[in-house]
Amino acid sequence: MTFDLSVPSQLSGALLPDLVMMGGAMLLLLWSAWRPESERHQRNVGFLSIGLCLVTIAVIAVYGTRHYTATDGVVAVDAFRWAADLVVLIATMGCIALSIEYNKREGIMAGESHVLLLLATSGMMILVAARDLMIVFLGIEMMSIAVYVLAGLNRRSPRAAEAALKYFLLGAFSTAFLLYGIALVYGATGSTNLTAIANTVAKHSLSSSPMLMIGVALLLVGFGFKMAAVPFHMWAPDVYEGAPTPVTAYMAAAVKAAAFAAFLRVWLEAFPDLFVQWHLAAWWLAALTMVVGNVVALAQKNIKRMLAYSSIAHGGYILVSLVIGNAFGGSAALFYLFAYTLATLGAFGVIVALGESGEPNLEIRSYSGLWSVRPSMAVAMAVFMLALLGFPIFGGIGFFAKWYILKAALQATSPQPKLAIVLVVTSVISAGYYLYVVMVMFMRPREEGASVPPVCGPLTRGVIWASAVLILVLGIFPDAIAFWAETSVPHATVTRANRTMPVLYQPTARSQ
């Protein structure tokens, strides 16, 4: 069926998955405040939160399989939205599962922490659905404010407080850029609706309007902050390091996925005609992010900081798919986000599993000889590292994710062989730090006096094994996920982008 978004009841129909999520989160919030804080209560709230995510996924599955659509309006009802929702919800469930046991260990009794994750997730669901810059802003704020609180969840840890404050200040700063950008775009085009913006730009050939240019540039900066693209990445390592590990996993996986999905939609749906103008900026953003993220990650000694920089670098790879600027890029980005989410969840799961109360020691060195004391954890971590590296078979779906982006980059209307080369060369650089982790775990002897890490709980183990098995199995049979990604592109762009795409390079000798 097609939702007529101008009718309020149908608009709420289009927003049903989001409403289920938000309503459920509110009820859970009430319930978690109802009882005194206790470990058991915290766990129950956590389980119910996972249940709520499952219900939401069920609703999304119904909407997705029935191919509902909507008239042009404030939100999109398309496969891209459901796909992005699914990635975000999988990440959320994994992080809640991790944080149930993490909270127990760290003595965090507040069941509200899970509800905050749900609230952030509902913000993300709004964000990826948005087809209006005001809704984009609303989604980003809903998501961010909840995550600011989550970063400082552990009140006893000064590092967490620093992380939360830093994240809040820089987040607020970047929001200002975003808002100003939205205002200028509105000023230039007279609308905040993505399709209306695109039509106005095409109709009045606004592609040289300075106001619009500055607006788009400010939007790029605002999104750049949220995606932690270089040079707007400075906050990420400190925040990732200080926040509780499950929250870090959440920021690395879900926040990144939602920000990229929204970014892709805004750029492909609102500014296809400005391709020439933003193309170069995005090109450099992608190249810089890949190079800086990977090179700086080489120097990290703390595993969470290392993964923070690696996550910045992965943002660079995903940006490549944006530079491509067409449907191929969109599906490559979705596929990548899915694979990256699995690997990130797994890697942070291992960090949670091996940590001790207060996480005093997160040096990569402390994993020395892990293979001899916890062989299964070492093997799982090796799989996640190889998946992030993008290695075939042993890194499973991680390889196909990179391959998909490479293929899209060479297949685009304006092929990007140079960016493809940057991608593979920086991938080799990334081998330096991913393999370092593998090397430390397998080839170094256990440090003297190092204690054997405690056995982790069933939930953490479940998250780790589920992601490892999914990575490996989908790494041999990626067809289903590929099909799903290919059919889930931002739908307005498929015809639009192809029609109006200016050809910068011919796929001939010169571009080589």
Distance CA 408, CA 331 (A): 9
503 interacts with other proteins by CB under 8 A: no
501 interacts with other proteins by CB under 8 A: no
Within residues 358-387, the interface with other proteins by CB under 8 A covers 386
CB 454 within 8 A of CB 461: no
CB of 424 to other proteins, least distance (A): 4
CA 115 vs CA 31, 46, 50, 147, 509: distances in Å: 10, 8, 10, 11, 55
442 interacts with other proteins by CB under 8 A: yes
Q: Which is nearer to other proteins, 384 or 391 (CB)?
A: 391
CB of 503 to other proteins, least distance (A): 16
Using CB atoms within 10 Å of the CB of residue 202, give its burial: 0 to 12 exposed, 13 to 18 middle, 19+ buried: middle
Task: Single out the residue of 46, 64, 171, 478 in contact with other proteins (rule: CB under 8 A).
Answer: 478
Which stretches within 76-157 are classed as H helix? 79-106, 112-129, 133-151
CB of 234 to other proteins, least distance (A): 29
Q: Which is nearer to other proteins, 281 or 420 (CB)?
A: 420
CA angle 391, 392, 394 (to 5 degrees): 80
Task: Single out the residue of 32, 42, 427, 488 in contact with other proteins (rule: CB under 8 A).
Answer: 427
508 interacts with other proteins by CB under 8 A: yes
Within residues 343-362, the interface with other proteins by CB under 8 A covers none
Q: What is the DSSP letter of 70?
A: E
Structure tokens at 460: 């953490």
Distance CA 475, CA 482 (A): 11
Report phi then psi at 445, rounded to 5.
-75, 160
Distance CA 350, CA 352 (A): 5
Q: Which is nearer to other proteins, 247 or 377 (CB)?
A: 377
Within residues 407-426, the interface with other proteins by CB under 8 A covers 407, 410-411, 417, 420-421, 424-425
Site string for other proteins, 309-348 (x = CB under 8 A): -------------------x--------------------
CB-based contacts of 192, cutoff 8 Å, min separation 6 = 132, 133, 134, 182, 185, 186
Task: Single out the residue of 55, 486, 500, 502 in contact with other proteins (rule: CB under 8 A).
Answer: 486
439 interacts with other proteins by CB under 8 A: yes
Using CB atoms within 10 Å of the CB of residue 317, give its burial: 0 to 12 exposed, 13 to 18 middle, 19+ buried: buried
Contact stretch for other proteins (CB under 8 A) within 83-91, 132-140, 247-255, 401-409: 401-409
Residues that bind other proteins (CB under 8 A): 328, 386, 391-394, 403, 406-407, 410-411, 417, 420-421, 424-425, 427-428, 431-432, 435, 439, 442-444, 477-479, 482-483, 486, 508-509, 512
